[in-house]
Amino acid sequence: MKLWYFTEQQYHPAWDLSDGPIRNIPPSSLIDRDVCADLFDRYYEEFAWMEELGIDIAVNEHHSTFQSMVPTTFLHVAALARVTKKSRLLSLGSPLGQRPDPLRLAEEIGVADMMSRGRIEVGFIKSVPWEYFNSNANPARLMDRFWEANDFVIKALSTRDGPFSWHGEYFDYRNVNIIPPPYQQPHPPMWMTGQSTGSAKAIAQRRYVAVCVMSGPHVAGPFFSAYREQYEKTHGAAPSLDRLAYSSYLAVGNNEDEARIRAQRVHKWVEMLSSQHLGFQHAAGYATPTDFARMLTAGKLGHAGAATPTIDELRAKHTMFWGTPDQVVDQIKNFYRAVGGFGQLLTQMGGYATKADTFDSMKLMVKEVLPQLQDLHRTL
Amino acid sequence: MFSKPLPDTLKVRDAVIEYARLGSGPPLLYLHGCDGVEVDDPFVSLLARHFEVVALSLPGFGSSDLPPSLRCMDDLAHFGIELVDALGIRDCILVGSSFGGWLAAEMATKRTGRFSALVLAAPLGARFTKDPADIELRDIFILPHKEYPYIFINDRKKADAAFAGSDFPSMQEGAALRYCRNREAMVLFGWSPLLVNRGLKDRLHMIDVPTLVLWGDGDKVASLDYGQNYSALIPGAEFEIVADSGHYIPLESPAIFVDAINAFTVRASFTRARHGAAR
């Protein structure tokens, strides 16, 4: 099992200052510049610690929100390329449907991969509906644009024999020539997030790593299964376990009381997930009209959403692994068997978890949890 | 507005378009606002007392197909002209409300000779201010579903009737899907730049048919000033304020809407006849 430490680099000090949502509309004046700069120092100390532990590092991006201070992953991937030496660096990911200029994205990937001597992994994501209000990218026909951008970036990264032109439905370039190209040939390993069996199939056809994010086995099981089936159909062989990844919240303690306190701190972020202005809740076009109508008729839009699950409920759903090292091993093993196995685990902390919580949890993961997961594939 | 499908269909460029044709009199083509049209909308039967009314669901709206070849308002305007031909309407009165008013204005600027008169009820599509930070048109895409209807229709009872109370779980089958298709089509054509085609303002002077611009005095999407600016750029256009009405004039003030069209078309036909005699 390959372990990634994943952080959103949140600006949690403002969560209690905003008397409304933490996304889209709260003013940036709620950010104290020194506190903010200190937080970046802390996050980079955490990254250095992860490298010392031998853990790989994943970053994501969000926009106009105190959920994350990363408006483009490659700002941080490039910084990490210089302050780390060994860790692999995963961008998870770039919201392809929102980037108006995939050429610029390919250029950013090329530079970051070269600077890191080939330690970059690249994820593409659909993103969330409320961020289309910030990027202004048109949510209609978003997935058509997404796949064209994907095809374009792959060609741009892979082409080494001079310029090519691209005259697509959504993107038009007369002279594409990525300099520097990525260090890895023909391009860095690719990842994509998804939830549905349809997206699993599309990801499998491209041999990308498929990531299921905080979804539990009832979603991840069919998702992984559809991936395996399509992969074998398309490529004539079963995918290796490292093609499948799962992302969960995490809190590990030396005893259950300590773990519970840490889990509650991480949970503060889960409470913030529904901190949403209702006007930004859904952008028509983001989901198909059929899915949009299904949400409306099921009464899922127009209100703040269901109550936040407790840490015990999250543990039961396998969306947060938390407890002592042995408890976490059991939880991961149970989940692993329920979904038919996977090869990469991304663990997210954040929320009100302190630097010490983060350091110690991840140390326990590496020293006590991970060794017990290495032969998991034999249990399938 | 969006609850029931329209009864008939026709094909244009392989796209199936739903429509209704009712009443008798001079032909009138109605282009709906952001949320579609249905035969039970009260203004439709009122119009049908005076005109042969064709009301349709534009591509992507209601149950009408949305061909991939339609990417923007210019594409839609050309498609709209093909639609007029496919419907076999000659010399018709072109009437549009809100988004449909925008489309009607676009079609009329092309001087195709297909229209005898133009009625624009709170049309969108132009931007007049020079300050990029000015908010001229309300962002109809940033609205909670429960507040959405009252931006378009001020009278809450009429708004609830038009939007079926926004009670999606209780709506009749297919209504929620039609609502969602309407919203998606609006996003395709109006998301960015927000409800504007940058070229339209400088083409409005090309409109060469008698034009009436109606504006509700309580419009929450675009102000009276906006309406006056719009009207001023269309040669000879008449501008009428509709009292106690919001943005969807046909839905909020159906009788005034129909009377205004009726009176205007009579005036316009006299004018045309006079011009014809002078020639």
Q: Which of A138, A278, A296 sits opposite B187 (nearest CB)?
A: A138
Q: What is the pLDDT of residues A85-132, one digit of tens each?
A: 999 999 999 999 999 999 999 999 999 999 999 999 999 999 999 999
- State both tokens at B233: 């750029």
CB–CB contact A297 B188 (8 Å): no
CB–CB contact B180 A284 (8 Å): yes
The span from the CA of A345 to the CA of A249, in Å, is: 10
- State both tokens at B179: 């609502």
The type of residue at B27 is: P
The span from the CA of A318 to the CA of A332, in Å, is: 8
Peptide bond before residue B193 is cis, with ω within 30 degrees of 0: yes
**Cα R_g (chain B), whole angstroms:** 17
A-B contacts (CB, under 8 Å)? 70
Minimum CA–CA partner of A281 in chain B: B144
CB–CB contact B168 A290 (8 Å): no
Phi/psi for B238 (5° steps) reads: -95, 145
Contact B257, B41 (CB under 8 A): no
Query: In 10 A of CB A205, how many CB atoms?
Result: 14
Q: How far is A320 from chain B (nearest CA, A)?
A: 31
Chain A neighbors of B145, CB-CB under 8 A: 278, 296, 301-302
Minimum CA–CA partner of A297 in chain B: B169
Residue A267: C-alpha distances to residues A61, A146, A249, A260, A317 (Å): 20, 32, 9, 10, 14
The span from the CA of A4 to the CA of A10, in Å, is: 18
pLDDT tens, residue order, chain B (279 aa): 999 999 999 999 999 999 999 999 999 999 999 999 999 999 999 999 999 999 999 999 999 999 999 999 999 999 999 999 999 998 999 999 999 999 999 999 999 999 999 999 999 999 999 999 999 999 999 988 889 999 999 999 999 999 999 999 998 889 999 999 999 999 999 999 999 999 999 999 999 999 999 999 999 999 999 999 999 999 999 999 999 999 999 999 999 999 999 999 998 887 777 666 554
Peptide bond before residue A93 is cis, with ω within 30 degrees of 0: yes
Minimum CA–CA partner of B190 in chain A: A138
Helix (H, G, I), strand (E, B) or coil at A294: helix
Helix (H, G, I), strand (E, B) or coil at A300: coil
Q: Which of B147, B177, B186 sits opposite A293 (nearest CB)?
A: B177
State the DSSP code for B137: B
B19-23: Cβ within 8 A, 24+ apart: B19/B54, B19/B55, B19/B56, B19/B57, B19/B87, B20/B44, B20/B53, B20/B54, B20/B55, B20/B56, B21/B52, B21/B53, B21/B54, B21/B87, B22/B48, B22/B52, B22/B53, B23/B47, B23/B48, B23/B49, B23/B50, B23/B51, B23/B52, B23/B53
Diameter of chain B by CA atoms?
A: 61
Q: How far is B276 from chain A (nearest CA, A)?
A: 47
Minimum CA–CA partner of A303 in chain B: B144
**pLDDT, position B278:** 52
Q: Which of A138, A278, A280 sits opposite B188 (nearest CB)?
A: A138
DSSP letter string, A221-250 = HHHHHHHHHHHHHHHSSPPPGGGEEEEEEE
Peptide bond before residue A186 is cis, with ω within 30 degrees of 0: yes
First to last CA, chain B: 44
* DSSP H or E stretch at residue A348: strand A344-348
The span from the CA of A88 to the CA of A116, in Å, is: 9
Comparing C-alpha atoms, which of B39, B8, B11 is closest to residue B23?
A: B39
Q: What is the pLDDT of residues A147-180, one digit of tens each?
A: 999 999 999 999 999 999 999 999 999 999 999 9
Q: Which of B143, B146, B184 sits opposite A289 (nearest CB)?
A: B184
Minimum CA–CA partner of A138 in chain B: B191
ipTM of the complex: 0.93
Chain A (257-316) residues lying within 8 Å, Cβ to Cβ, of chain B: 278-281, 283-285, 289-290, 292-293, 296-299, 301-302
CB–CB contact B171 A297 (8 Å): yes
Minimum CA–CA partner of A130 in chain B: B142
Minimum CA–CA partner of A139 in chain B: B187
Weakest mean pLDDT among A186-195, A262-271, B120-129, B170-179: B170-179
Q: Which of A140, A285, A296 sits opposite B168 (nearest CB)?
A: A296
Residue B115: C-alpha distances to residues A335, B56, B210 (Å): 66, 17, 9
Residues of B contacting chain A (CB within 8 angstroms):
141-147, 166, 168-169, 171, 176-177, 179-181, 183-188, 191-192
Chain B neighbors of A298, CB-CB under 8 A: 169
Q: How far is A100 from chain B (nearest CA, A)?
A: 13
**Cα R_g (chain A), whole angstroms:** 20
- Among B187, B194, B196, the strongest candidate for a mutation testing the A interface, having the largest count of A CBs within 10 A, is B187
**pLDDT, position B94:** 98
**pTM summary value:** 0.95
